[in-house]
Amino acid sequence: MINFNEIEEKWEKKWKEDKLYKFNPESKKEKLYCLEMFSYPSGAKLHMGHWYNYGVTDTWARFKKMDGYNVFHPMGFDAFGLPAENYAIKTGIHPAISTDKNIETMEKQLSRIGGSWDWDYEIKTCKEDYYKWTQWMFLKLYEKGLAYKKEAPVNFCPSCNTVLANEQVISGNCERCGSTVIRKNMSQWFFKITDYAEELLNDLDKLDWPDRTKNLQRNWIGKSVGAYVDFKVDGTDEKFTVFTTRCDTLFGATYCVLAPELPLVDKITTSLQKEEVNKYKEQASKQSDIERTSTTKEKTGVFTGAYAINPVNNKKIPIWISDYVLATYGTGAIMAVPAHDERDYEFAKKFNLEIIPVLEGGDLSKEAFVGDGLHINSDFLNGLNKEDALNKMNAYLEEKGFGKKTTTYKLRDWLVSRQRYWGAPIPIIYCEDCGVVPVPEKDLPVKLPMDVEFAPDGESPLKKCDSFMNCTCPKCGKKAKREADTLDTFVCSSWYYLRYPDAHNDKEPFNKDLINKILPVDKYVGGIEHACMHLLYARFFTKALRDMGYLNFDEPFLSLVHQGTILGPDGEKMSKSKGNTVAPDPLVEKYGADVLRGYLMFGFNYIDGGPWTDDGIISINKFYHKIERLTNAIKESDERITEIDKVLHNSLKSIREDIEKFQFNTSMARIMEYTNILSKYEQSGIPRYYIEKLLLILAPFAPHIAEELWQSIGNKYSIHNESYPIYEEKYLIEEEKKIAVQVNGKVRATITINVNDSEDVVKEKALVQENVKKFTEGKEIVKIIVIKGKIVNIVVK
RNA sequence: GCCUGAGUGGCGAAAUUGGUAGACGCACAGGACUUAAAAUCCUGGGAGGUUCACCCCUCGUGUCGGUUCAAGUCCGACCUUAGGCACCA
């Protein structure tokens, strides 16, 4: 019996030496870019998730290569980021050193998977030759007005001591460490992803992505169509704009509410109310986001003393402030229609504000009526339904200049600066005379200094590094200071797929012609947790670069697959604290990489994942050893066996279809069916032809074992340069077929039909069945449905 | 509350998209080989009923209805569960 583990290392070495997986960009074959999300080089060993993602996707890539595609399949590391820095703070080991070491370990471990990556295209985002171009990206976005700095209330993680993007705040907590995020006013760099909100939303329709993921993005972008309506502040020149999705209820607006942070609040607050307003403002600013947005919290608010004029009826309505209105959404101001909005109703009830119904229906003494109803108390809208009223009001507002139709999004601009060390420095210089000056392209990269004190204290560690901070202004030559913040690592990963095909280009981030040939990525595989982060950011980058003329495609990832999660044997998510982790390494040592890959493919629905079982992996070990035995039963003979041919070609057809769908469990099942039929002939010997087919079929699934056995039957190295077997239709045609005969939808018999049987013959065959007769006798046959080659259903009364 | 998925044997799962539910495998049971075990091979199997046995019958894909000659698949309502969003105006 072969020791799988031993032969695997032998072949991996040889494949590497021979550069078996060398990508040839000049190839005339159709290109296919297969990409797994690259990983962070942590100190820990590869976990089951890595194997599940990389091992299984590799089978797909190998299949495509054997099937005639010019497969581009690179690998690299997302090497900047907090863990290395935190590790450094703890141990004193510099992130550059620990990261390099981790990468080296991971490279070794990855090669043990037996992946068909071409390592000549490897990327490490923390290296100068990469982050130089990350900085270049920043400059290009800056040039285009898509990168800007502004003072704004931002999410700050007190534990990581840095700001976070909205996407990195998971229900009020830091995505990385789980600490409660607080709000801080800080001057920060943003990317204007909101400029692309509409396109990011619309282009989802073009993508072969899971619906789940598309919905997450749609939800996150949060488009909502409504109108801006301008309100004048009574007795002043001030005015403000509210956003509403129901401008048709404008006649029911009985008060307005401003977010407490709005600058306008101070301008309009009457002296009588000043004290109360200030007190409320202070209170509100102290609250965390979770406290503030809790739906269970009772409404609070304060009257400003000022009144607004409702433009449609010139009614004076009071202006309040309340924290239930968010400064960051819409305009930070609303018109309140308490009769038809639950929140406004609650607020109005508490503070005794007027409630005017403008829609028919409901019982306002109990609650707000939020359903649909015909308009009342609404002048020219009376009697209209929602749709008509909206149209009419929109037209009216526009005509009178009171407001206009508009669209808002929940998506906010992407905050990219971080007050941490281990990241790409932002290529910006501050000059007293010239202001904000971008670093000229020729001066890139702005090197990350190595000798830095990086204990985080809420300010960038780079700030304390004089040799870094002090520079001369590129414009006027005077002394100047550098930007001390670094870029979020999500910026690095937003364009890495563009760098791979041209990873060693030192003149530009990529050659335009080359990447337009190899991109977009045809198959992208990774976890769903990146749905509203990496996957959204990368789409934004692609679109922005397209608009700058660098790319001729709109979307980076045409087809996306998420692997599921392999859970611990207890059905819980694997975690060290629960002690339910299953490490790949010991299993690889015991059974080999192919067996582990095989079980990961066979034992789960790839997209669902599921709990690990040891029994499962044993069964694949048995299966591969069975293939080994069958290979030993090889017989030099040209004999063809019809029974085997049928199974072979049927299996081949299914295997192809299933691999296409990332259904490796069923494709493995078909291989098993084929081996089952072969094993019937084990004693008498199996003709070479069938053994070769078996190994070729197996090659993408168990690349090492297939290579070894291929050689053992005297074939030429390497099996991975062979073509994947193709099925022939003629073997799929069944001359005879067993089909079911139903009476009133219940199966009562099966009959064997011939392909050439006419419908009448089939009916005849069905009706003469004993058991069919039993159920039809004495009854009237209403009709007989014959579905060709599938079923007969006799309807009786 | 809103938006997505998911729910099928003891277990992992499959089902040509409306056409014999449970492919393939695990575990299990019986048998063969063996002094014995391991390994391997063969047979069996959704539940219940009937039968010496084969046949056959009833029920069966979370629940309740509906459409259809025919429903795991389509429609409606609901339950459970996972994930996302949530005072978004």
E strands, A118-157, in order:
123-124, 147-157
Q: DSSP character for A208?
A: B
Closest nucleotide to A676: CA versus each C1'? B24
Q: A222: which nucleotide lies closest, measuring CA to C1'?
A: B88
Integer distance in angstroms from CA A679 to C1' B46?
Answer: 29
pTM score: 0.91
Separation of A315 CA and B49 C1' (Å): 80
Determine whether A630 is exposed, middle or buried from the number of CB atoms within 10 Å of its CB (0-12, 13-18, 19+): buried
Nucleotide closest to residue A296 (CA–C1'): B87
Residue closest to sugar C1' of B11 by CA: A613
Report the distance from CA of residue A63 to the C1' of nucleotide B80 in Å, as an integer.
40
Q: Strand B: which bases are under 7 Å from protein Cβ? A: 3-5, 11-16, 19-21, 23-27, 39-42, 55-58, 69-71, 83-89
CA dihedral A619, A622, A626, A627 (to 10 degrees): 70
Q: In angstroms, rounded to a whole number, what is the distance separating the alpha carbons of residues A605 and A668?
A: 12
Neighbours of A194 (CB within 10 A): 18
Tell me which residue of A587, A594, A591, A593 sits closest to A702, measured CA to CA: A594
* Residue A383 CA distance to nucleotide B75 C1' (Å): 33
ipTM score for this prediction: 0.92
Q: What angle do CA A599, A602, A608 make, to 5 degrees?
A: 105
Lookup: tokens for A53: 């993602």
Backbone phi and psi for residue A162, each to the nearest 5 degrees, phi listed first: -150, 165
Query: Can you name the residues that pair with A575 across neighbouring β-strands?
Result: none
What is the three-class DSSP state of A309?
strand
- Residue A784 CA and nucleotide B70 C1' are separated, in Å, by 12
Q: Where on the phi/psi map is residue A523: left (φ > 0), alpha (ψ -120 to 50), or beta?
A: beta
Q: How many residues does this entry show for chain A? A: 797
Residue partners of A220: CB distance under 8 A and separation at least 6: A167, A410, A411, A531, A532, A536
For residue A629, give the nucleotide whose C1' atom is nearest its CA. B40
Contact (Cβ atoms closer than 8 angstroms) between residue A192 and residue A409: no
Tell me: the pLDDT tens digits for A403-424?
Answer: 999 999 999 999 999 988 999 9
- pLDDT the model gives residue A295: 57
Q: If you measure CA to C1', which residue is closest to nucleotide B88?
A: A329
**Separation of A605 CA and B12 C1' (Å):** 9
- Residue A741's nearest nucleotide, by CA–C1', is B20
Q: Closest by alpha carbon to A65, among A112, A21, A110?
A: A21
Distance of A572 CA from B8 C1′ (whole Å)? 22
Helix residue spans in A300-341 (DSSP H) = none
Distance of C1' in B80 from CA in A608, Å: 18
CA of A566, C1' of B5: distance in angstroms: 18
Task: Supply the pLDDT for residue A729.
Answer: 87
Q: Which nucleotide is nearest to A226 (CA to C1')?
A: B89
Pairing status of strand A736-743 against strand A791-796: parallel
Whose tokens are 């769908």? That residue is: A661
Nearest-CA residue relative to C1' of B14? A666
Checking each nucleotide's C1' against the CA of A410, the nearest proves to be B88
Instruction: Tell me how far apart the alpha carbons of residues A404 and A392 are, in angstroms, rounded to a whole number.
Output: 12
Which of A421, A439, A422 minimizes the C-alpha distance to A430? A439
pLDDT at A127: 96
Taking the C-alpha atoms of residue A412 and residue A402, their distance in angstroms, rounded to an integer, is: 27
- Alpha-carbon distance values, A332 to A167, A304, A322, A529 (Å): 21, 15, 10, 30
Q: List chain A residues with pLDDT less than 50.
A: none
pLDDT at A459: 76
Left if phi > 0, otherwise alpha if psi is -120 to 50, otherwise beta: which for A483?
beta
Would strands A31-36 and A70-72 be described as parallel, antiparallel, or unpaired? parallel
Per the CB < 8 A criterion, the answer to whether A378 and A251 are in contact is yes
